[in-house]
Amino acid sequence: MRFLPISPDDAVCTQTLGKLCSELGPQSVDEFIAQFKSLLPMRITRLNQAHSTHDASAGQDAALSLKSAATMAGAHGLAWLAFLLHDAFRDDQRDVQGELIGRIERAGGTILAVLGAPGFAEHALRAYLGSANV
């Protein structure tokens, strides 16, 4: 199974976070981004542990947690990888699990860099509002 890398331009959907900003405000989204960034390494560790211990239930749980958080963060490519990984744990596809976890680690690094840009929430809000006025 081959996957294309997630490019920085496609790592995070500004429309998703912009909409969230319009509903909750940039400060709340900044807090969500900070929490997402701090929890991502732990989520990846849980995936690796589940893979190494052959714990399909823990792997599915960790993949679902990552998928939900990534979707809310607008990291749709990461959410898709987590969805595929959930299925790979369910179907006991060990080689696919390892490959997907590696892809998730690499995509996570790209996403953290994008989300770490100063003022990202405000940028997303402006982009969302600009597209809504078209």
Helix (H, G, I), strand (E, B), or coil: what is residue 21? Answer: helix
The pLDDT, as a whole number, for residue 26 is: 87
Dihedral angle over CA of 55, 56, 58, 62, nearest 10: 130
Phi-psi bin for 37: left (phi > 0), alpha (psi -120 to 50), beta?
A: alpha
Full residue range of the structural domain in which residue 83 is found: 12-132
Q: What is the pLDDT of residues 69-119, one digit of tens each?
A: 999 999 999 999 999 999 999 999 999 999 999 999 999 999 998 888 888
The pLDDT, as a whole number, for residue 131 is: 81
Residues 121, 33 contacting (CB under 8 angstroms): yes
Confirm whether 3 is domain-assigned. no
Residue found by looking up tokens 């597209």 in the block: 131
Distance of alpha carbon 91 from alpha carbon 105, whole angstroms:
21
Count of structural domains within the chain:
1
Say which amino acid occupies 31: E
Q: Give the CATH number of the domain where residue 128 resides.
A: 1.20.120.160
